[in-house]
Amino acid sequence: MHAEGQRYLAPAAWVGGSWKSDVVLAVATDGTWSEVVPDAPAAMRRDAQALRGPVLPGLVNGHSHAFQRAIAGLAERSGGSEDGFWHWRDRMYGAANRITSRQLEAIAAFLYSELLRSGYTHVCEFHYLHQDPEGRACADPLELPLALVRAARRAGIGLTLLPALYMRSGFAASRLREDQRRFASTPQSVLHIAHEVAKLGGEVAAGVALHSLRAVDEPALRELVAAVGPRMPVHIHVAEQRREVDDCVARHGLRPVEWLLQQVALDARWNLVHATQCTRFELEAVRNSGASIVLCPSTEANLGDGIFDLPGWMGLSGRWSIGSDSHVTRSWPEELRLLEYSQRLGLRQRNVAGRAALSESCAAALFEGALEGGSAAAGLALGGLAPGQRADFVVLDTASDALAGMPPDHLLDALVFSSPLAAFSEVFVAGRAVPPADPALRADFAGAMAELGT
């Protein structure tokens, strides 16, 4: 049930890109905002439920592999003289090939509760564990997807499930490697999962994903894209690593994004994940198509992917969202901070995002960018405190150390750029307060980790 007719009063709220005072927020029967009124008159404020602090819209986590939460902190030791993305991937496969559906649910539920506590209210789950641990078809093809749906509902977070097409191990390969056996799928199997999950309703939606161009051949790429509905988001890992670019050029004579643009007509449904190796020409073409980019700064840094051309993309008014991917970090302020700091380190400049967006506040430029792109990633109206958008929001704890003594108009700056992290005292999804995390979620997570032997 939604919070029908519920009205909240925020002492301050982030509306339309800036702080507004005495904001009344009214929730419609479908869990969206019906009214958002800054400087609300006394009569309107009188019957509204007073919130304990300033309010920010909830953010979408645009890219998640929930099962990888099981190896966060466990893949940080070098196995030899060389270490990079491809070595990490082999370690990740070790976990992927052991996790059962019950363990996946336990790990995802705990992760999703962490994301909620860190201010995310919706997560886009890029899901490619399709088969059982032996690589055999599950008796129910929805067994693993529904484990993720149950996890999201247990935690209280919104979910866009993105079943991923994964058919081969590389550009020149015809099949998967043995250690990729669980990922096997077809356009038909992916669409079946997406359509069945989309029927569930509530705060659960669905789209589709293509794992990467190296994992999908041309006919399957076109078949899946042709069958996707006009409102379903489409996600793909692309141009993340230099070796991926080199392999694509060797096979097709074109860089990954160049080749993708030749194969299908990108549009506003598309979300290109990482794109760290894109050229300015490619970014311009992606921007002209209306597609978005999903950035995962903590994972991109952890894996040594490279630095995305953020000022170039923002200068094109390109749309982007933020994601936590492998979940070495589960906090959007940390992701935004790292996104900006990577630019500062590379360019030896300050306030890069702010200047690129023509914004005085770097934190505001980053937050607004992530907020706008989140709706595209999720395929839902999740664009902030405005009528028609889902009523997701978080309440800042101004007693947090990072916010102590902050002038009201600098709260967002401190939230993003001051450590230790500030806390959110309450989180709301579709107008409803999310209860405190159930201790059973942590216990189940610990049990799953012990079983996996990680």
Q: What CA–CA distance (Å, rounded) separates 309 from 100?
A: 38
Q: What CA–CA distance (Å, rounded) separates 126 from 325?
A: 9
Domain topology for 7-57+385-439:
Urease, subunit C; domain 1 (2.30.40)
Q: What CA–CA distance (Å, rounded) separates 256 from 398?
A: 45
Confidence of residue 4 (pLDDT cuts 50, 70, 90): low
Q: Average the pLDDT over each of 67-81, 222-236, 263-277 and give the range with the smallest value.
A: 67-81
pLDDT tens-digit profile of 365-397? Answer: 999 999 999 999 999 999 999 999 999 999 999
Residue of 63, 122, 237, 274 with catalytic role: 274
What is the average pLDDT score of the chain?
96
Peptide bond into 420 cis (omega under 30): yes
Which pLDDT score, from 0 to 100, does residue 1 have? 44
Q: What pTM was estimated for this model as a whole?
A: 0.97
Residues of the chain above pLDDT 90, percent: 92
pLDDT tens-digit profile of 181-230? Answer: 999 999 999 999 999 999 999 999 999 999 999 999 999 999 999 999 89
Confidence of residue 266 (pLDDT cuts 50, 70, 90): very high
Confidence of residue 3 (pLDDT cuts 50, 70, 90): low
Is the predicted pLDDT of residue 19 greater than 50, yes or no?
yes
Cβ–Cβ under 8 Å, residues 151 and 363: no
Residues 211-225: b if buried by 16+ CB within 10 A, e if exposed: bbbbbbeeebbebbb
What ranges do the domains of the chain cover? 7-57+385-439, 59-378
pLDDT tens-digit profile of 131-170? Answer: 999 999 999 999 999 999 999 999 999 999 999 999 999 9
Q: How many CA atoms lie within 13 Å of 53's alpha carbon, on the beta-carbon side?
A: 19
Cβ–Cβ under 8 Å, residues 325 and 281: no
Q: Indicate the class that CATH gives domain 59-378.
A: alpha beta
Q: Which amino acid would we find at residue 9?
A: L
pLDDT tens-digit profile of 391-448? Answer: 999 999 999 999 999 999 999 999 999 988 889 999 999 999 999 999 999 999 999 9
Q: What CA–CA distance (Å, rounded) separates 441 from 435?
A: 13
Please say if 325 is a catalytic residue: yes
Please say if 192 is a catalytic residue: no
Residue of 22, 309, 325, 444 with catalytic role: 325
| Beta pairing partners, 206 | 161
Is the predicted pLDDT of residue 2 greater than 70, yes or no?
no
